[in-house]
Homo-oligomer: A and B are copies of this chain.
Amino acid sequence: MSDTPTRAQAARSVLAAKKRLGLRWDKIAEAVDRSVEWSTSALLGQQTLTADQARAAGDLLELDPATVEALTWPPDRGAEASDTTDPLVYRLTEVVQVYGSTISELVREEFGDGIVSAIDFELDLHRVEDPKGDRVVITLNGKFLPYRVW
């Protein structure tokens, strides 16, 4: 087993191969046959890839078999796999800090007592051109789950 890299090591190999081959994430997503956002998170170690998806990504990125194998292991979704003090990620944490109470209020008013699922969840990110400076639009789409009463 000691020959199998961890998911974090596999992610670094993916990034190095992507850079060396000059590939973009949409090209990799095409091979995986899923959205760009899901495919990126999967290759960075946050989602489970099937053996077929791992093989397709491995063929495109010319990864060695042990790295392809590693991509099918369970993902690293804990706090240690993300550096929330990186300036870019911190801005998102600050959005949750500043707007968390607003989102709670509006969800509760519209749906009642419950939460927005982070599991039955989709992420979309795209560029919107703007003469005053282009914008990043990130869409969080989660199923509303009501608290069960019994």
Q: Which residues of A contact B (CB under 8 A)?
A: 1, 4, 12-13, 15-17, 24-25, 34-38, 40-41, 44-48, 74-75, 77-111, 113-123, 125, 127-128, 130, 132-150
Contact = CB atoms under 8 A, between A and B. Distances in A.
Contact of A74 (B17, B108, B134, B148): B108
A3 B44 CA distance: 20
Contacts of A141: 128, 135-138
Contact of A92 (B83, B103, B105, B139): B103
Copies of this chain per assembly = 10
Given A79-B97, A82-B96, A120-B146, 10 more contacts: A46-B101, A46-B102, A84-B100, A88-B107, A89-B104, A103-B138, A117-B145, A122-B148, A127-B144, A137-B140
